[in-house]
Amino acid sequence: MMQNMKDIAMLLAINHMTGSQYETCASQMTTTGLSALKDSYMKEYEAYQCKNLKLDMSRGKPGPDQLVLSAPMLDVLSSQSDLSASDGTDCRNYGCLDGIPEAKELMGSLLGLPAENMIVGGNSSLNMMYDAVSRAMLHGVYGSPKPWCRLEKVKFLCPVPGYDRHFAICQHFGIEMICVPMKEDGPDMNLVEKLVSEDESIKGIWCVPKFSNPGGITYSDEVVRRFANLSPKAPDFRIFWDDAYFVHELTDEKVKLLNLFEEAKKNGKEDMVFVFCSTSKISYPGSGLAAMGASFHNIQNIKMQMTVQTIGNDKMNQLRHVRFFRDKEGVLSHMKKHAALIRPKFQLVERILEEELGFCGIARWTEPKGGYFISLDTQPSCAKRVISLCRDAGVVMTPAGATYPYGIDPEDSNIRIAPTYPTLEELEPAARILCLCIKIATIEKMIAQASEQEAAPQKAYAIAQ
C-alpha cells in the first residue's frame, strides 16, 4: 500500500534532512517546509545537470557484451561448408517459404510446438505480428466471415501496462483498443471472458505471457487454461501470444508457462491461437530468427498468402542459428550466459531503488525473475514530470504513457526501466537520477496539494462573502 501524502513527506524528510529544516518540514507540513525540502533536492539535481551526462534506460536492447556471446555463430558457415538443409534444400537458393526443417524444429522445440505448426520468418517477430494483423485486415484469418477491414469496428483487448509496439500496430490499422488490467498472474480473466463473449467486434488480444513487458509477470496455469477455453462471440477471434521472453530467465529458477497451444488443442480451440517468438535477445536483435506457431488450418491459410509475398526468408541465417545452437539445450545454456551479464544490472537498479525510495513508499516497482524490464509506479500524476526531469538531467527514459494504448496512462504513474543496455557504471548514476527525479516530482505534487489546502479557508471565506 502506498502511504498517505503526509507520511510520505515525513519519511522523505527524515531520510534526507537534518536539524531545523526537518523539524519545520515534517512537523508542520506547510508549503514552506516542503519547498525547503524540494530546494535541497534541486541542489543535488543541478549538480547532476552540470555533469552533462548522456545515459539511456529507454529501450530493452542487449548490451554489446551480450552480442559478443553469439560471435562464434558468424564462423559456423564458410565457403567450405555444406550449405544444404536436412531435406537437401540448398540454403543459398530460392525456396522453403516457411523455413528449413531444422529451424522449424528448433524454434518449435523452444515453444513446445511441433515443427509442422511452425513458420520461421525473417529477423523480427514484431514484423510477423504486424503481417498477421495486416493479413487479417485485408483478407481475414482462417474462418473469417469477412476481411476485418470490411467491418464497421475492429477492437483488440490490451492488457495494461503493456508493450507500446503492439499498441502502435492497432493504432496504425485503426483498431480500437480496450484496456484490461493486469493482475499478479496475468490479465483480469473475468473481464476478458466477459468482453470477448459479448462483443463480436473484439477480434484479438495482445499477450506477453512470460516475463511480460513491462511488468515481468508470467501467466499462471489457471489464466492460460482460461485463455485456452475462451468462447469469443467473434468466430475469428485470435490470441496474439507474443512469447518474446520465453527463455529469458534472469536466475537459475526456471519459470514455467503452460503451453497455450496444447491446452487449446485439448478443447478443439487451437485455431484461436497465434504464437510468436524470436531469437532477438538470444542471438542478435538485428539478425536473429523470428517464428510463428499456429494450427494446421492457420498455417495453411498463412502460407497461401505468404507465397505472394516472398519465395522464402534468409535460410543461411536459419542454418547458422541451427548449427550454432544445435538444439533447445544449446539455447538454454547460451541464455545462462546472457543472464550472468544482465542479472547484476537488474540487481544494481533494484538496490538503488530500495536505498533511495524503499523507506518512504512514494513508488513501487517489480523485481522480475526474467525478461528485460523493471516496471515502476510513481504516485499518481507524477510519471510525465519524472521523465521530463530525467531528460533534462541527461537520462533518457521510455516516455511516460508508452505502456498504455494511445500513450495515455490514466494514472500518469507507470515508468518502464530498461537496465540491460547501459554498463553498470552508467546505470548507477542513471538510477540515482531517476530516484531523485521521483522525489522532486512527488514533492512538487505535495506542494501543489498543500497550497490548495492552505488556500481553502480563504476560498471558503471569499465564497461566503
Ligand X SMILES: Cc1ncc(COP(=O)(O)O)c(C=O)c1O
CB of 129 to ligand X, least distance (A): 7
CA–CA dist 295, 274 (Å, integer): 8
CA–CA dist 223, 230 (Å, integer): 11
Nearest CB to ligand X, comparing residues 242 and 270? 242
Applying CB under 6 A, does 263 fall inside the site for ligand X? no
Which grid coordinates belong to 282? 538470444
| Exposed e or buried b per residue across 182-195, where buried means at least 16 C-beta atoms within 10 angstroms of its C-beta | bbeebbebebbbeb
Q: Considering only CA atoms, which of 446, 455, 390, 444 is closest in space to residue 416?
A: 390
Chain positions 46 to 105 lying near ligand X, rule: CB under 6 A, are 60
Among 25, 208, 224, 397, binds ligand X (CB under 6 A): 208
CB of 317 to ligand X, least distance (A): 13
Among 285, 312, 399, 405, binds ligand X (CB under 6 A): 285
Applying CB under 6 A, does 187 fall inside the site for ligand X? no
Q: Which stretch binds ligand X (CB under 6 A): 121-129, 138-146, 291-299, 393-401?
A: 121-129
- Residue 151's region, left for phi above 0, alpha for psi from -120 to 50, else beta, is beta
Q: Which stretch binds ligand X (CB under 6 A): 66-74, 96-104, 118-126, 266-274?
A: 118-126
Cβ atoms of 281 and 59 within 8 Å: the answer is no
Applying CB under 6 A, does 280 fall inside the site for ligand X? yes
Q: Considering only CA atoms, which of 290, 294, 258 is closest in space to residue 275?
A: 294
Applying CB under 6 A, does 290 fall inside the site for ligand X? yes
CB of 206 to ligand X, least distance (A): 9
Q: Which stretch binds ligand X (CB under 6 A): 28-36, 120-128, 145-153, 233-241?
A: 120-128
Cell 537496465, residue? 419
Applying CB under 6 A, does 301 fall inside the site for ligand X? no
Nearest CB to ligand X, comparing residues 118 and 290? 290
**Phi, psi dihedrals of residue 249, rounded to the nearest 5°:** -65, 140
Applying CB under 6 A, does 207 fall inside the site for ligand X? no
**Phi, psi dihedrals of residue 280, rounded to the nearest 5°:** -50, -40
Among 24, 66, 70, 125, binds ligand X (CB under 6 A): 125
CA–CA dist 129, 123 (Å, integer): 12
Residue 90 DSSP symbol: B
Among 31, 124, 414, 420, binds ligand X (CB under 6 A): 124
16: Cβ contacts below 8 Å, ≥ 6 apart: 37, 40, 41, 439
CB of 279 to ligand X, least distance (A): 8
Site string for ligand X, 239-258 (x = CB under 6 A): ---x-x--------------
CA–CA dist 159, 166 (Å, integer): 11
Length of the chain: 465
Among 24, 31, 117, 213, binds ligand X (CB under 6 A): 213
Applying CB under 6 A, the site for ligand X has a residue count of: 13
**Which residues here bind ligand X, judged by CB under 6 A?**
60, 124-126, 163, 208, 213, 242, 244, 278, 280, 285, 290
